[in-house]
Amino acid sequence: LYFSAQDGILLFYHIKDLQYEMKVCADISQPISSLIFSPDYASLLLVTDQGPVYSYKPAHSGEAVKLLDTCSSCFLAADFLTPGNKYCVSVTISGEVQVWFLEDGTCLGKLNLDTEVHIT
């Protein structure tokens, strides 16, 4: 079980029977608004309240790597484009939808919806 609280720390709970172990996986020092696994569970996207999106690879147990950052508006949500783990789509609060190449964080295209976006 992966979990994050408002402190920006990504935690992993290994639960077996009535016992559990907790491990700190990454500290990005920004509140994490959502965690999204890739279709093959090889990568985990960490979407923050303040703009950046990070990637964490559970099999490598390394630090979270900043993939994307926005200058004009904070990301509201992001998700992988399937099949595969090479691309993701994001939407900002201001209504900008973007497609990203995750290997180097290149923005491949964007579309402005000309409306503010909310999650309900």
> What is the reported pTM?
0.71
- Split into its structural domains, the chain has a count of 1
Residue 37 domain flag: yes
Whether residue 51 is contained in a domain is answered as: yes
CATH number at residue 49: 2.120.10.30
- The pLDDT of residue 70: 58
Answer whether residue 120 is part of any domain.
Answer: no
The string of pLDDT tens digits covering residues 55-105 is 888 887 778 888 776 555 677 778 888 887 788 888 888 888 989 888 777
Do the beta carbons of residue 110 and residue 67 sit within 8 Å? no
44-48 vs 53-56, strand pairing mode: antiparallel
- Is residue 51 a contact partner of residue 69, using CB atoms and an 8 Å limit? yes
- Give me 17's structure tokens: 């029977």
Nearest to 36 by CA among 4, 9, 74, 63: 4
Domain assignment present for residue 117? The answer is no
Please, are residues 28 and 5 in contact by the beta-carbon 8 Å criterion?
no
Domain around 92? 2-112
The answer to whether position 16 is within a domain reads: yes
The verdict on residue 35 lying in a domain is yes
Biggest alpha carbon–alpha carbon distance for the chain: 51
Residue 32: band (very low, low, confident or very high) from pLDDT cuts 50, 70, 90? confident
Average pLDDT over residues 21-40: 87
d(CA 71, CA 104): 17
**So what's the pLDDT on residue 73?**
60
Structure tokens at 41: 């569970």
Query: What integer pLDDT is reported at residue 71 of this predicted model?
Result: 53
The residue assigned the tokens 């559970």 is 58
Task: Using the CB atoms, write b or e for 15-28: b if 16+ within 10 Å.
Answer: eeeeeeeeeebbeb
Question: What mean pLDDT do residues 28-32 have?
Answer: 86
